[in-house]
Amino acid sequence: AVAAAAAAPAQSEDDDDELSLEPTEEKDRLEQARLIAPLMKKSLKNGEKWYLIAADWFQQWEAYTGHVRYTSPRQPKSDDSPGPINNSTLLIGGQLLPSRMEGVHFVLVPREAWKLLKAWYGLKSAETVLQRSVVATALRAPFVEVYLLNLIVMMHDDPTLRQFKHTLSRTITVGELHATIADMFNVSVANTRVWTCDHGEPDELLSTATLNLDDCAIRPGQIVMLEHKQSDGSWKIRENGVYGSSGSTLYGSSAFTSLRTGAGAGVGVGVGTSAGTGTGSSGSNYNNYSSSSN
């Protein structure tokens, strides 16, 4: 069975941040609410860093300080301090649990608010820091990319049946994806092209190199296939996604058939939404699939 792609991992803060577990300053709790309130109304800007904080911790902090999201602070409802920032309820094995939702499981705070809260309360563990990037595309307003895309990558007619797990940002362009996949299989970009696959068959040719993956509606768990040009310079797959006269079958092997029948159904899901919710940080990585689940 094909191993399931992992959710986006917990991420460390930037190198220029002092990652101290202990509080570094004291501040009256009413003053805390007054300082944080305007920061929570900040607009998203492409390239900024925002942080996830577990909703249970943040709600206890609000009760302790009188902070109320999207309005003015009120009288505190509790005298119990929330203690060190603790995101352990969001993580498993050091990675963000799949399908976590803003406002239900976590709250997103801008960098400035994170640094203040960290200074006042410290951290339960450095491994639970969840930093994410604000990204934007031609078709979408800036959003926090909480989860990266997890793709299944393969080569058409590859006799070794290699399959890769590829994790990357939605802002990566088709050209960048093409170059990365070609590098995985040690082939040239000039002699290859990239297809999405649906129900085990070629679906759409990704021919516009400048489009990013979000604008192409690439979905989490998408199967992406690299096609190599034939020796006579022709392509085996026609541009409508069907095969030429050779009658070749894309998924003739049991490994490919397993993808058609749902072995990849466990791939982690990430949902991107605008105005402060969304899906991991920019960048990408890939790992060779094993023949059995780990």
> What pLDDT shows up at residue 283?
46
The answer to whether 274 and 227 have CB atoms below 8 angstroms apart is: no
* CA distance readout (Å), 11 to 39, 47, 78, 83, 131: 22, 16, 31, 21, 6
As a whole number, the mean pLDDT across the chain is 79
> What pLDDT shows up at residue 70?
64
> What pLDDT shows up at residue 293?
32
Q: Which amino acid is at 179?
A: A
The answer to whether 139 and 212 have CB atoms below 8 angstroms apart is: no
Instruction: Report whether pLDDT(191) > 50.
Output: yes
**pLDDT-based confidence at 26, cuts 50/70/90?**
confident
Please tell me which of 44-53, 129-138, 237-246, 280-289 the model is most confident about, judged by mean pLDDT. Answer: 44-53
The arithmetic mean of pLDDT across residues 120-145, rounded, is: 92
Question: Positive or negative CA dihedral for 58, 62, 68, 73?
Answer: negative
- 240 or 165, which is more confident: 165
DSSP code, position 90 = G
Residue 81 neighbours by CB under 8 Å, 6+ apart: 64, 121
Q: How many residues does the chain have?
A: 294
Both structure tokens of 270: 């990430």
Dist CA 187 CA 109 (whole Å): 43
The arithmetic mean of pLDDT across residues 133-143, rounded, is: 90
> What pLDDT shows up at residue 253?
36
The arithmetic mean of pLDDT across residues 11-22, rounded, is: 57
Q: Which amino acid is at 228?
A: H
Instruction: Report whether pLDDT(211) > 80.
Output: yes
For tokens 């300053």, the residue is 25
> What pLDDT shows up at residue 73?
67
Q: How many CB atoms lie within 10 A of CB 242?
A: 9
